Amino acid sequence: MRENVLLRDYTTFHIGGPARYFVEVKNLEELKTAVAFAKEKKLPILIMGDGSNMLVSDRGFDGVVIRPNFRGFEIDGETVRIAASENWDACAQRIVAAGLWGIENLSFVPGTAAGLAIQNVGAYGTQASDIIESVAVYDLKLKAKSYKLKADCKFEYRRSVFNTEEKGRYVILSLLLKLSKNSVPNTSYGVKADSLQGMREAIIATRKSKGQDTSEYWSAGSFFKNPIITEKEYATLPPGTPRYPVSPPDPLLSIRRGALAGELVKVPAGYLLDKICHLKGLAIGGAKLSELQVINIINTGEATAQDVLNLFKKARKIVYQKTGITLENEPELVGFE
C-alpha cells in the first residue's frame, strides 16, 4: 500500500493528481485485504485498470485506488476465458490467430479485458455485448464471488450495470466470450478486408490513421459518445448528416428517450463537431480536439484535467447551440465534484 501516488503515471491521458492510497493486487485474497483496508479507513474505493478510459482530476482521488493484476487466458473451442487485467489487444491478437471471429473489429482498443464489459466497448459495427457470454465478479456488497450472464449485465450503448446503477459494487475477475470459427467480415462501418487477419490489420491501420494510438497521442480515446436521438430530432439536422441504426433495437433506451422501438438513430459525434461546427484543432491550455479524429481530446504535453474538462464543455456548448444535441463524455470522470 503506497501513499500519494500520482495517477497521471497510470492513465493514457498522462493526467491526474495523487491517490491517497494506491495498491496493486494479483488475486482475490489480496483484493479482499485491500477492500478491508479501505473500509477500516472509511475511504472510497476506485478500481483502476490501464487508465485508458478515464480523466482523473488535478487534485486526484481521496481514497484507495486498487489496481487488479488478474492474469489468465484460455481458448476452448469457440469459447475464450480472459482474466480481467489482461491487455485487451494482446488478447484480440491471440483470438484472431486462433481463427475465431467476432472481436476483430475491436482490435487496437486500449485497456484491459474488464473494460470491455464495463463500457460495453464498441467499434466499427461490433459491441462487446455481441460476444460476452458471462462475467465473473466479486461483489463488494455481499463479499462473495458470483457470475453475471449477459442479460444480468444490462448492456446498452456504452452502458452496463457496472457503470450505471451498480457502479462501484462489483470488481470484474474474468470474462467468458463466445466466438465463431465461421463468419464473414463486418464491413458495416466502411472498413473492409477479405479475411479475418486482414480485417484486424485494416482496423488497426484505420485507428492509427485517426490518431488513436495512445503510445503516440496522449488521450482517453473517444471523449464524446455518438448521440442516440429520435427521428424527430434527426429531422432538424442539416441534410446529409450520417445516421446509423441502433442495433439491436434497445427497448429500455427507447423508453428513456420517450420513443417507440425503432424510432432511435445514432449519429456520429465527429460529424457534428467537425462538419457542422468546424471544431477540429480547438484548444484550451494543453488540451486540443485532435485534427486526425475530432472526437479525441489529446494532451499536447502539459494539459491539466481542468483544461480537458473546459474544452469538452466548450465544444459541447457549441454543438448544442448549432444542433440542439447535447453530447456526453465517454471516459469516466474521477475526483471531480
Task: State pLDDT tens for residues 187-199.
Answer: 988 999 999 999 9
Domain shared by 96 and 150, yes or no: yes
pLDDT confidence of residue 252: 65
pLDDT higher than threshold 90 for residue 29: yes
pLDDT confidence of residue 36: 97
Share of the chain above pLDDT 90, in %: 90
Domain shared by 22 and 115, yes or no: no
CATH code of 94's domain: 3.30.465.10
The set of cell numbers assigned to 296 is: 479525441
Q: Domain residues for 52?
A: 2-68
Domain shared by 87 and 164, yes or no: yes
Catalytic residue among 8, 158, 159, 200, which? 158
pLDDT higher than threshold 80 for residue 328: yes
pLDDT higher than threshold 70 for residue 174: yes
18-45: b (≥16 Cβ within 10 Å) or e:
bbbbbbbbeeeeebeebbebbeeeeeeb
Domain shared by 113 and 170, yes or no: yes
Domain boundary among 135, 161, 178: 178
d(CA 286, CA 140): 38
On whether residue 322 sits in a domain, the answer given is no
CATH code of 60's domain: 3.30.43.10
Least confident of 32-41, 206-215, 314-323: 206-215
pLDDT band for position 219 (cuts 50, 70, 90):
very high
pLDDT higher than threshold 90 for residue 245: no
Q: To the nearest whole number, what is the mean pLDDT of the chain?
A: 95
pTM to 2 decimals? Answer: 0.92
pLDDT band for position 81 (cuts 50, 70, 90):
very high
Residue 183 annotated to the active site: no
Residue 169 annotated to the active site: no
On whether residue 236 sits in a domain, the answer given is no
On whether residue 299 sits in a domain, the answer given is no
Instruction: Return the closest-CA partner of residue 266 out of 294, 237, 246.
Output: 246
Domain shared by 118 and 143, yes or no: yes
Residue 330 annotated to the active site: yes
Catalytic residue among 52, 134, 160, 222, which? 222
Domain shared by 63 and 81, yes or no: no
**Residues 105, 133: contact at Cβ < 8 Å?**
no
Phi, psi of 96 (to 5 degrees): -65, -40
Catalytic residue among 86, 166, 233, 330, which? 330
For residue 132, what are the contacts with CB-CB under 8 A and spacing of at least 6? 116, 117, 150, 153, 155, 175, 176, 177, 178
Distance of CA 312 to the CA centre of its chain: 17
Domain count, the chain: 2
Domain shared by 40 and 130, yes or no: no
- 3-class SS of residue 266: strand
